[in-house]
Amino acid sequence: MTAPDAVSRDDEEIVDDDGAEAGAPAVRSWRGPSVRRWALFAFVAIVIVVADQLTKAWIVDHVEPGTGFQVLGTWLAFVYGQNSGILFGMVPQSAGAFAIVSMVVIALVVVYHAKAGRGIVMTLATSLLLGGAIGNLLDRLRFGSVVDWIDMGIGATRFWTYNIGDAAITTAILLIIATALFPVIAEWGPDA
């Protein structure tokens, strides 16, 4: 028998201090996302930031604040809104404080991906969260508020005005909730 924590190369047996029996097949533990998974994480986040910032730049350049135009009847309109709070306009007049909070969240998202990004769903969720957070942080730093422009609803019943970054954050939160409710989802498309 080999010493604890030693791996027998001949028959791929492993023994560890946790009491695993000799003769158990060797299992490599996941040590974090691969370079390919980090590349996917970065790519999705960058796509979200670029799409978010380009659409906001167009709105800022072509539409006056507080005004807009209909795209699909009353169902969809593009309206230039300025949100000095957080998601859905909560806690208004606090863009500076939320810029600091956003920086902390961005760091935590990267750390969380390093720990939980084994499955493709978690990589996508964390990259969407990162892209949305960066997009909204850039607005807070540049404008002192977040540029919102997508207005949806039916007639006078409207949803909150939002942007691509907000949509990415909301999608990420829904994916994370789904993985919490159904843990098997978090294991889909495991990183090698």
- pLDDT (tens digit, 9 = 90+) per residue, 78-133? 999 998 766 555 555 566 677 788 899 999 999 999 988 789 999 999 999 999 99
Selected catalytic residue, list 52, 139, 148, 191: 148
Q: In the annotation, is 166 catalytic?
A: yes
CB 15 within 8 A of CB 5: yes
CB 59 within 8 A of CB 149: yes
For the chain, percent of residues with pLDDT exceeding 70: 79
Q: In the annotation, is 139 catalytic?
A: no
Contacts (Cβ under 8 Å, ≥6 apart) of 3: 15
Contacts (Cβ under 8 Å, ≥6 apart) of 16: 4, 5
- Per DSSP, helices labelled H in 16-149 are 35-62, 95-116, 120-143
For the chain, percent of residues with pLDDT exceeding 90: 60
Q: How confident is the model at residue 190 (pLDDT cuts 50, 70, 90)?
A: confident
Q: Report the alpha-carbon distance of residue 51 to residue 65 in Å, rounded.
A: 20
Residue 71 has pLDDT above 90, yes or no: yes
Report the greatest alpha carbon distance in the chain.
76
Selected catalytic residue, list 52, 139, 151, 166: 166
Residue carrying structure tokens 């080999």: 2
Please state whether 44 falls in left (phi above 0), alpha (psi between -120 and 50) or beta. alpha
